Structure 1
Amino acid sequence: MASRGIIPVLVLGIGISFIQAPVIYAEGTGTEQERIPLVGSEAAVLIDADSGVVLYGKNAEQPLYPASITKIVTAIIAIEEGNLGDIVTVSKEARHEDGTRVYLAEGEQVTLEKLVYGMLINSGNDAATAIAEHMDGSKEAFAERMNRFVQENVGVTHSRFTNPSGLPDPEMVTTAEDMALIARYAMRNETFRKIVSTKSMPWNGQEWQSELVNHNKMLWNYEGANGVKNGYTTAAGNTLVTSATRAGVDLIAVVLRASGSELAYSDTAKMLDYGFADFYAKTFFHENEEYVREDESAAVKWTADKAITALVPNGTNPGSVVSQDGEVLIDTPYGEQSVGSLTETDRVEKKASEDSRTASERTGTEETGKHGNRALWLALAAAGLVLFWGWLRKRRRRRRNRSYGRRDGWR
């Protein structure tokens, strides 16, 4: 009787624990949520730069205006698809571009590399236009390249860029998650990392001699910050993309449509603090570790080219599954996410001939069974006919005997 009372209590306790567990990952108040960042910006996201896993999100897929963080895309294209040693001749349109500039002169000749520095450190819209015109002849043609690049190289699909600088355009939108993934891609390039982490540099232009000071205050105000770009327009509000590294952990934080620069910086710091303090790196596959996945058609061996790790919440120990394509997937508070991919190193197909032989043998067995059953029924039928024939003969004999008796006068 005592056990009957214990079982409902245990079930109730387990049910409560499952109901309460996800709360730790949501915004709110309470002892279990005190460390969760309360973000005031309209949209925000924090990702593990190594795996790409989302650690925190608020309206992370909401389309919003990017402002000057657009220049992250322009810069990585110039670095990867251009020649930084090229000499760029500044056009009249670039010279008279709207917004923040590095005061390029019409006809001035500048290296592509110097333009990238001026665009990222001082947010020069004139430098962005000069880069676009040099690479594709016009801002419109370069914008087409931008959209192809982020879709094909980065894999984001919710962003649309219409100019290289981020100047207001109703059709130009991005999301916090897209920008985090774009920054993650860009920060893998050493040249890009070097430029966005540069705090200041001398600028000796034809019409402007000065010292450029990086507009991203996180480089001075947050320990471990090493990039990447801030932005502002009236329509977009304040936008900020930040990369930071501590103790070998790389994080990327994005905020969109903050009501002021201080809110953008404080929201970013909260998310980064949360990422560094409340997560640990778990290894799901070690380098060269193998995994065999078998299905009806083949047995496939997958191998990890490098260790696959991801940040997971402290106090948790999630498992992983490997998809048919070799993706390593884990369950997170923000759904199932990929933490990396394995490489196919061997495949053993289940041969069709063996399958055919097995099917043939199975068919032969079935046919043998059918023939055996038929022979049995035939034998039984023959035996029945023999018995029936014997009974008829016996019956006729008795009738003849009776007839003989009557003829002999038997009554």
Structure 2
Amino acid sequence: MTIGFASRAVAAGCALCAAGLLAAGPAAATARPGAGTDLRPPDGRATAAAAPAALLYRSGTQVRPRAGAPDVPDLSARSWLVADARTGAVLAGHDAHRKLPPASTLKALFALTLLPILPGGLRHTVSAKELEGIGAGSSLVGVAEDRAYRVSDLWNGVFLSSGNDAVHVLSALNGGQRATVTRMQAKARALGARDTRVKSPDGYDAPGQVSSAFDLAVFGRAGLRNPDFARYCARAEARFPGRDGGSYGILNTNRLLTGADGVRPYRGLVGIKNGYTTHAGHTLIAAARRNGRTLVVSVMNPRSGHRHAVYEEARSLLDWGFEAAGRVDPVGSLDAGRATEGATEAAAAAGPQARPVGAAAAGDAGGTPGRPVAWTVAGAALLGAAAVALVLRLLFGPAPRD
């Protein structure tokens, strides 16, 4: 009877041990993010997270068509991408992370960086020094020294006329070009745009200044989420203050928006930004909305020789994207860079007591400070062993001393 009772006690202790191990189970499970997780939404379609992040780093065109999906257009651009602006799912891309000069599409990052910190109603009188160093052949809106402008006027000059003179003045209000470049670079990193290297705030050609179709699409998508950015980039025309106290009209240089120079305007276009330099060729970030869906495309350096190729190739991508939506699986996500880097930075900033569960689990699995899975399991096992020893001590008394 005593033996039987002891066996039951040991069994009870072992049950406690097992319970301790089971209690550790959630920690062990979260150490492998995504393990056993169905990444498909209820309708069975794959999400952007289901696509390997490395897919967009491969050369050539990347697309995952289903049966009945339309063929991807054959384009001459050195790099391009089309994505869903709401979800960030990349529908297709070609050399999407290829680092190329961005030209004035970099002004999208400039606007994302400074719009939140420069009030539109602020008035500023421009000095001659603020207009120094503008690159030869730059596009200008006509900013004049000793003339007072509202910041909102200068933003019209940036978005519509791609005015490098307006960029220089706004940079001066931010503390100068060097401070602005540093802030733009930090903003690019915060958005997960890791291909971008900022050397000039206006996008004028500078050694080492590059971006990618992926990063430009990231900037365009982020811009649509900023009400001021979205309003400026969709504006086809505006009035700009003249030197004599009057004003004159300016037209958006994005021909896909305005239909200028014989380019047919795109139905549903919500704008964003175009660019051109001798080194970069033509570049464009464009977004359009149809039937409740918004797409963002980026096109870098078409080589067909047609003067409006960047607009026509963007048109082809938008047409394809609206037709292909729901018929292709994502090849990546515009959130990929931010998700990887952002979780690490947020965890470091918050400290060990405030890390998100997912970030803590991923960090623990990699050996960073926290509660490693191996120690959790070992602790549970010791707890169970202690329970067994306690039960045996209660049954048989203290162990004899030597």
Helix, strand or coil: the match of 1:35?
coil
**Does the C-alpha gap of structure 1 residues 261 and 77 become closer, same or farther in structure 2, counting only changes over 3 Å?**
farther
Instruction: Identify unmatched segments of 5+ residues in structure 1.
Output: 1-21, 281-312, 317-331, 368-411
**Does the C-alpha gap of structure 1 residues 142 and 339 become closer, same or farther in structure 2, counting only changes over 3 Å?**
closer
| Pairwise CA distance, 1:140 | 1.9
Alignment map for 1:205-224 (pairs within 5 Å): 205-206=242-243, 209-220=247-258, 221-224=265-268
Whether 1:251 aligns to 2:295 is: yes
On the 8 A contact 1:121/1:215 being kept in 2, the answer is yes
**Does the C-alpha gap of structure 1 residues 106 and 80 become closer, same or farther in structure 2, counting only changes over 3 Å?**
same
Structure 2: distance between partners of 1:77 and 1:217: 25
Q: Which amino acid aligns with 2:237?
A: S
Match among 228, 233, 236 for residue 191 of structure 1:
228
On the 8 A contact 2:149/2:241 being kept in 1, the answer is no
Whether 1:168 aligns to 2:212 is: no
Whether 1:263 aligns to 2:299 is: no
Alignment map for 1:82-101 (pairs within 5 Å): 82-95=118-131, 97-98=134-135, 99-101=138-140
Structure 2: distance between partners of 1:69 and 1:94: 22
Whether 1:179 aligns to 2:216 is: yes
On the 8 A contact 2:120/2:150 being kept in 1, the answer is yes
Match among 133, 138, 150 for residue 111 of structure 1:
150
Structure 2: distance between partners of 1:274 and 1:171: 33
Q: Which amino acid aligns with 2:384?
A: T
Aligned residues: 290
On the 8 A contact 1:202/1:210 being kept in 2, the answer is yes
Larger C-alpha radius of gyration, 1 or 2? 1
- Greater fraction strand: 1
Structure 2: distance between partners of 1:37 and 1:364: 73
| Pairwise CA distance, 1:78 | 2.2
Match among 101, 115, 120 for residue 159 of structure 2:
120
User: Could you report, residue by residue, the CA deviation over 1:270-320 in whole angstroms, capped at 9, with x for unpaired residues?
Assistant: 11111111113xxxxxxxxxxxxxxxxxxxxxxxxxxxxxxxx35x7xxxx
Structure 2: distance between partners of 1:41 and 1:182: 19
Structure 1: distance between partners of 2:205 and 2:324: 37
Helix, strand or coil: the match of 1:258?
coil
Equivalent in the alignment of 1:236: 280
Match among 62, 66, 69 for residue 102 of structure 2:
66
Structure 1: distance between partners of 2:110 and 2:130: 15
Match among 151, 158, 167 for residue 195 of structure 2:
158
Structure 1: distance between partners of 2:308 and 2:390: 81
| Pairwise CA distance, 1:45 | 0.6
**Does the C-alpha gap of structure 1 residues 228 and 270 become closer, same or farther in structure 2, counting only changes over 3 Å?**
same
Instruction: Identify unmatched segments of 5+ residues in structure 2.
Output: 1-54, 56-60, 259-264, 340-355, 361-370, 394-402
Whether 1:360 aligns to 2:390 is: no
User: Could you report, residue by residue, the CA deviation over 1:186-212 in whole angstroms, capped at 9, with x for unpaired residues?
Assistant: 110111101110111122222583211
Alignment map for 1:22-33 (pairs within 5 Å): none
Structure with greater contact order relative to length (CA < 8 Å, sep ≥ 6): 2
Whether 1:143 aligns to 2:181 is: yes
What is the TM-score of this pair, normalised by structure 2? 0.64
What is the TM-score of this pair, normalised by structure 1? 0.63
Structure 1: distance between partners of 2:380 and 2:74: 61
Helix, strand or coil: the match of 1:60?
coil
| Pairwise CA distance, 1:359 | 2.9
